[in-house]
Amino acid sequence: MDDQNIPIDIHTTKLLDWLISRRHIPKDWQNRVIKVREKINNAIQDMPVHDGIVKLVSGQHINYFHCLKIVDILKETEKDSKNIFGRYGSQRMKDWQDVIADYQKDNIYLAEVAVMLIRNVSYEIPSMKKQVHKLEQLQAENEKKIKDCNKSEAVSQKEFKVACGQLGIKGEKVKSELLDLLNELPQLYEETAEKITIVRSAIELYAAFTKYLSGQDIDCINLPILSYLIEKGNTTAYEFVYGEKPLRIEEPQKATMEEVDKDDVNVIDFGDSDNIDFGDNGAEVDFGGETKEIDFGDQIVLETPKSAEQIICSTDSSNDGSFEIISYDDLNPDLEIVLDESGIVVEKSGEDGGIARGEEALTILDHPKYREQIINDLSELEAFVKMRLFEMSHESDVLSMSQMQDAPTTLQMQTLESVTALADSVNVALSCLTNKRIQHLHNIKHSERYLDLLTASLNQKLTLGDRMRATKKVLEDKTAQTADEIRKLVPVIKLLFERSKQMQREIQDDISKKYNGRTVNLVGGVNVLTV
């Protein structure tokens, strides 16, 4: 077989070693190339204005093959300096011809171009492609984060609107709107008290069941405060405790109680001290007819003022310290005691009473303690009807036993459907009292800290939306910047790839000339790269 037809295959990464081993280039080629590069830098300082030259010398490392093209261009631009012997008198031409001569000596140009090709194939192009890949990953991550920000922003806005909707506010001025909602509490409590009356039948069944199982003849009192709410309505805690309506209701104010309007009637606070200052003048007791003065002695003490049952006062003119208890039960039923100077008016006993202050002025549904007791009563009632449903549905009803056949008709006539209806009514009452709106308003009224926390929680949702928008703006800027970097790198990679392919062809052709035109193939390298 003719060797001329056998192609020469050289791996691109082994090209430099192959050239040295075949003695095409010397081992000290690097030092000699440095000197050539210095001549190129000097020669390039004085170049004619030509588009081809500008394209060759801009944005790339000039090699031997570029120098050949530059000389070809100078042959056109410097043809006027050519003498009769065919030589050019231009210094530009002499400089570049000198560069080409140094390159061709010992083929050091092959070494330089081989190194350029190896560097492009093994490092430059892969590095830029890797950089583009990282930028694309970063761009994808930023786009994902932007979507997450949009989602978080939408969720926070939705949660804010839902929370404001549950509370019944617009959300423009959260704290002031929440405080304004407290005006709706009395009406809400009245509506709730009306709805809770639907558990009356369940309470009656519970009482009858408890009475029957306990074996007591007297009526059993079950769920006292819940029963009271159904019977009397949402009265003040004062009326629930003392069994009588207050003469006046003074709900606790957020402002200090010491700030009392001078035009109002003097109010005595019995919570801090039992000593009452009646002023400088003595008081008179009006019995409806003859008026008598009473000497109160050294001290007047009013006991149990809220029930207005008795007044302990000094009646001994000798000041021996003795006291007599005057009970209203022993006086005329129409008795009215007026203490003008002190500002105290104690009217008829019975359903009329004293002044409801502080927590006693709150309704039982608004009173934290009694509200909790009502919820507990409803929960207890709920547990009872659920247990009855369980027993009746699993045929384990104690009333079906032979020894329980003497149960009242009320208990025996209960069916699974009727008890289910009772359970539904209890659930409705419990949900009315424990719905989020009433709970929020109740807590707002009785806890300033809760109001601050609720306001902060709602505002935080708005703040989160603002943070998400700010974060999204930063991510969008980064995404745009990343896309711009990718747009700049991709053309550079393509140009470098094309130049590497061109260098590969030029090296193959140059080596082929040295082997009498044999085919030379540089395998690997650019051939396996993709843009």
Q: Is the pLDDT of residue 344 over 70?
A: no
Q: What is the pLDDT of residue 356?
A: 87
Calculate the average pLDDT of the chain. Answer: 77
- Tell me which residue of 68, 65, 62 sits closest to 42, measured CA to CA: 62
Ranges 63-72, 84-93, 109-118, most confident: 109-118
- Supply the pLDDT for residue 218: 54
Look at residue 2 in the predicted model and tell me its pLDDT.
Answer: 64
Q: Which of 462, 466, 432 has its CA nearest to residue 170?
A: 462
pLDDT of 43 reads: 86
CB atoms within 10 A of CB 305: 18
The alpha carbon of 498 is separated from its chain's Cα centroid by a whole number of angstroms, namely 53
User: What's residue 376's pLDDT?
Assistant: 93
pLDDT of residue 253: 64
Residue 443, token pair as written in the block: 């807590």
Position 279 scores a pLDDT of: 38
**Burial of residue 401 (number of CB atoms within 10 Å: 0-12, 13-18, 19+):** exposed
pLDDT confidence band for 354 (50 / 70 / 90): confident
pLDDT at residue 336 is higher than 60: no
Mean pLDDT for the stretch of residues 73-83: 75
Question: Minimum mean pLDDT among 78-82, 218-222, 243-247, 356-360: which range?
Answer: 218-222
pLDDT above 80 for 9: yes
Query: With contact defined as beta carbons under 8 Å apart, do 236 and 362 qualify?
Result: yes
C-alpha angle 257/259/265, rounded to 5°? Answer: 90
Percent of the chain residues past pLDDT 70, beyond the cut: 74
pLDDT tens for 449-470 read 999 998 998 888 888 888 999 9
Q: Average of pLDDT values for 351-369?
A: 82
For residue 267, the model assigns a pLDDT of 35
Which stretches within 58-172 are classed as H helix?
A: 64-77, 91-104, 108-119, 125-167
Mean pLDDT to the nearest integer, 122-145: 93
CA pair distance 377, 426, nearest whole angstrom = 10
Residue 98 and residue 160: Cα distance in Å, rounded? 80
In angstroms, rounded to a whole number, what is the distance separating the alpha carbons of residues 508 and 501?
11
Question: Of 47-51, 106-110, 184-188, which gets the smallest average pLDDT?
Answer: 47-51
pLDDT score at 468: 92
Pick the most confident of 61-70, 160-169, 192-201.
192-201
Question: Is there a contact between 121 and 447 (Cβ–Cβ < 8 Å)?
Answer: no
For residue 397, how many other CB atoms are within 10 A of its CB? Answer: 16
Residue 268: pLDDT over 50:
no
Over 173-213, what HEC string results?
CHHHHHHHHHHHHHHHHHHHHHHHHHHHHHHHHHHHHHHHH
pLDDT (mean) for 38-60: 79
pLDDT at 403: 45
Alpha-helical regions (H) of 197-256: 200-214, 224-232, 237-242
Work out the pLDDT band at 254, boundaries 50, 70, 90: low
322 or 483, higher pLDDT: 483
**What percent of the chain is predicted at pLDDT more than 90?**
34
Mean pLDDT for 16-35 is 91
For range 203-229, the mean pLDDT = 79
> For the segment 393-424, what is each residue's pLDDT rounded down to a tens digit?
875 555 555 445 677 777 778 888 988 999 99
Q: Where are the alpha helices (DSSP H) in 394-415?
A: 409-412
pLDDT of residue 309: 37
Report in angstroms the alpha-carbon separations of 19 from 12, 214, 391, 416, 501. Answer: 11, 113, 100, 102, 19
Tokens coding 474: 């930063």
What average pLDDT does the segment 298-304 reach?
39
Residues 185-207 have a mean pLDDT of 90
pTM of the model as a whole: 0.55
Give the list of residues 6+ apart from residue 432 with CB closer than 8 angstroms, or none.
192, 195, 196, 438
3-state secondary structure of 11: strand
Indicate the burial class of 459 (C-beta count within 10 angstroms; 0-12, 13-18, 19 or more). Answer: middle
Confidence of residue 90 (pLDDT cuts 50, 70, 90): confident
- pLDDT, position 148: 93
Task: Check pLDDT > 90 for residue 223.
Answer: no
What's the pLDDT score for residue 59?
A: 58
Beta bridge partners of 10: 522
pLDDT of residue 385 exceeding 50: yes
CA distance 53 to 72: 10
Q: In this structure, what is the dihedral angle of CA atoms 422, 424, 428, 430, given to the nearest 10 degrees?
A: 70
